[in-house]
Amino acid sequence: MTEPLDLQRPSLAYHHSKGSGPTVVFLCGYASDMNGTKALALEAWARARGQAFLRFDYAGCGASQGEFEDQTLPLWRDDALRIIEMLVEGPVVLVGSSMGGWIMLMVAKARPDRVVGMVGVAAAPDFTDWGFTQAQKLELLQHGRIEERSDYSEQPTITTRAFWSSGEANRMMIGPIAFDGPVRLLQGQRDKEVPWERAARLAELIRSDTVQTILIKDGDHRLSREGDITLLLRAVEDVLAACSSPSS
C-alpha cells in the first residue's frame, strides 16, 4: 500500500515489497513517477522470486507531496537516501532510469557501505551540462524556468534555474567514479534524449571492472518494450548474482 513518510521533507509515496536481499530500489526519471512500465515490471518480477523491492515518488512527483518546481537534484537524492534508510535493512541494488541514473550515482557515492550494485537504464548523469542548448541555458538564467513540449506527457516539461544550477554543481562524469560493485548499463542507440556514447563514457569512468554496457540498436529512451524489459530483468539478475558470488 502507498503510504506517506513522516520526514522533514514532503511526505513521499512508496511501495515496499519485503523479501530476500539485497533490496532492489527503482529510481525514476525526471518528472516521472513510480507507476511506469519498468518499475511495475520489476516489482512483479521481484514478488515472483521473493526479492525485496522498493519504488517511490520523489517530492513534487506522482503521489508524493511537495511542489515540483521547488525541487532540486540534491533534494531528490536526499529523498532516495531517506527512504532507503527508513525502510531498507542491509544492502541495496539501485536501478536508475534516465535522471534516476544520475541520482543512482549520487546515492552510491553518499552510501558506499549500502550500495552493492547498480543498473542504469538510459542513464543521464550530468544532463544539465549536455542536454540543453545555449539558448535554453540563457533563458533559464534570465527567466528562471523554461517549458518544453514533452514526448511522454500531455503536460509540458518544466525546468527551473534552481534545478539546472544544482545539476551543474553535482556533475558526476568529470572524473573517475569510485564504485567497485557490478554494474549494467542499458542504452538504446535510437535514444533522442541521451546519446548512446554517454553510456560508453560512463562505463569507462566507473572504477569497477565488472561493468557491462548493453546497447540496443533499435532502442529508444523509454526502453519499455517487452524485449527491453526482458533485458532489464536479466541485467538485474546478473547484478544480484554477482553481488552474491564469493569474488564480489
Tell which wins on pLDDT, 50 or 245: 50
- Architecture per CATH, domain 14-125+174-244, reads as 3-Layer(aba) Sandwich (3.40)
Asked if residue 247 has pLDDT above 80, the reply is no
Domain spans, the chain: 14-125+174-244
pTM of the model: 0.94
Could you give the residue numbers annotated as active site? 98, 191, 221
Residue partners of 245: CB distance under 8 A and separation at least 6: none
pLDDT at 127: 97
Q: What's the burial of 82, exposed, middle or buried (CB within 10 Å: 0-12/13-18/19+)?
A: middle
Asked if residue 6 has pLDDT above 60, the reply is no
Residue with cell 537534484: 73
Contact 159, 146 (CB under 8 A): yes
Q: What's the burial of 26, exposed, middle or buried (CB within 10 Å: 0-12/13-18/19+)?
A: buried
pLDDT at 34: 96
pLDDT classification of 10: cutoffs 50, 70, 90: confident
Average pLDDT over residues 109-114: 96
pLDDT at 3: 44
Taking each helix axis from N to C end, the angle separating 99-110 and 73-87, rounded to the nearest 10 degrees, works out to: 60
Residue 24 three-state SS: strand
